[in-house]
Amino acid sequence: MSAAGPRRGLWELAHERGMTRRRFLWLLSAGGASAVLAACAGTRVPAGDLPSSVPEPSASPWFKDQAPFIVHGTKGLESRLENMSGAITPHRFFFVRNNSVSIDVDADDWSLSIEGDGVEKRLELSYDEVRAMEYRTLEAYLECAGNHRAMFDLVNGRVATGDQWKTGAVGNAEWTGVPLRDVLGSAGISDDAVSVMLIGMDIDSPEAGFRRVIPAETAMDPDTLLVHEMNGETLPRYHGYPLRALVPGWVGSTSIKWLSRIVVSSEQQWARNNTTSYVLIGDDYPPEGEALGQVVTTQSIKSALALPWPAEIDAGNHRIGGYAHSPAGRIAGVEWSADSGRSWQRAELIGPQARLGWVRFEFDWEALAGMHTVMARATDVAGNTQPDQVPFNEKGYLFNQPLPHPIHVV
């Protein structure tokens, strides 16, 4: 039985006894299944059996210090790009987007199951078995599909549904993990495998375990990893410990956190997150398969200034920085404009850029007192450039017009 299976059964028992999901998750993370069963039976769990560091359910839903972030409810921490200086985003500044409260998983009680009609045999791996497999490290950016969502309103005057992220639902890190194709190969993935569904342990999320579907071809890409380290350290719990997926170039929701189950199928799989959510819904997006519109898969080329929105700076010469990234590969160049896009100048790309990572750009600007609009526009090695206009979609995904950044110079 998969690791996700018994937890769903345990939740059903707890739910029947009147336990809330928050209480269930707290007990599960603090004391494992025994703590949940004891609570279901009406047995008091001795305080010494629960780690003192685990908060009561009424405490903050975050394991992470919120101070450096813009907080979006209980499920989103938006980074401030002005806190960044180099290519790698430190843990303390890396954005968080959850679909439930963050959960704390004991690796000793965790396993990963691979199953479905697209593999020859069902496989279950412990944390130590995954860690013992050959792994690799790569630098890659990770970005929420809704990054820049607020700009549909702020720039184009139409409000999209969802958290109003500005520019900080993105970060760049070094990820260490086992190629997914090696794990699928151990389970005997078949030649007729079509789709791979990745499922997390966050049962308080939609579908009682957040999930995304990727093509078998993407799953077999050597850059698609099952990650256990981030920036050279054990993967933090708020970023998916003990194991998360990393699907470079795809929207962040595809890189499932707290991964515990993989289903490989000989047919296209459909779920909430490729039928009604993570779908471009609007007049310009015809329905695809069972989806209400065009399924969101890869990200889009973007750039943003590393300044607050709006920004206020003193008059004088400034070295302005920002970040650009593309799912198609390295950024070939970034241009900037201080006259609302009537004329453009070349920005300087700073330092080497990893094949799958972002790049910092900088330029000198003589800022005169008054209100100004400064823009950046990126082009990647495949020739893709940020478009002048993005058709509206109801959920506000993939906005990537050049941003008219408001700056007050005093």
Structure-token match 């094949």, residue found: 355
Structure-token match 């009406």, residue found: 42
DSSP-assigned letter for residue 248 = T
Instruction: Give residue 49's pLDDT.
Output: 39
Q: Is 248 exposed, middle or buried (0-12, 13-18, 19+ CB in 10 A)?
A: buried
Helices (H) then strands (E): counts for the chain: 6, 24
Strand partners, 139: 174
10 Å Cβ neighbour count for 295? 19
Instruction: Give residue 62's pLDDT.
Output: 73
Question: SS3 for 393?
Answer: coil
Q: How open is the CA angle 305-308-311, to the nearest 5 degrees?
A: 95
Question: Which residue, among 82, 62, 57, has the nearest Cα to 72 in the 3D structure?
Answer: 62
Supply φ then ψ for residue 14, to 5 degrees: -60, -40
Q: Where are the domains of the chain?
A: 4-49, 70-295, 302-409
Residue type, 174: E
Question: Which residue, among 130, 123, 64, 125, has the nearest Cα to 97 in the 3D structure?
Answer: 64
Instruction: Give residue 111's pLDDT.
Output: 97
Has domain 302-409 been given CATH number 2.60.40.650? yes
Please state the pTM of the whole predicted model: 0.85
Instruction: Give residue 8's pLDDT.
Output: 46
Q: Which helix (H) or strand (E) holds 10?
A: helix 4-16
Instruction: Give residue 63's pLDDT.
Output: 80
Q: Is residue 156 within 8 Å of residue 392, measured between CB atoms?
A: yes
Structure-token match 């595809």, residue found: 254
Structure tokens at 222: 């050597």
Instruction: Give residue 74's pLDDT.
Output: 86
CATH number of 70-295: 3.90.420.10
Q: Which residues in the chain land under pLDDT 50?
A: 1-8, 29-31, 42-59
Instruction: Give residue 16's pLDDT.
Output: 62
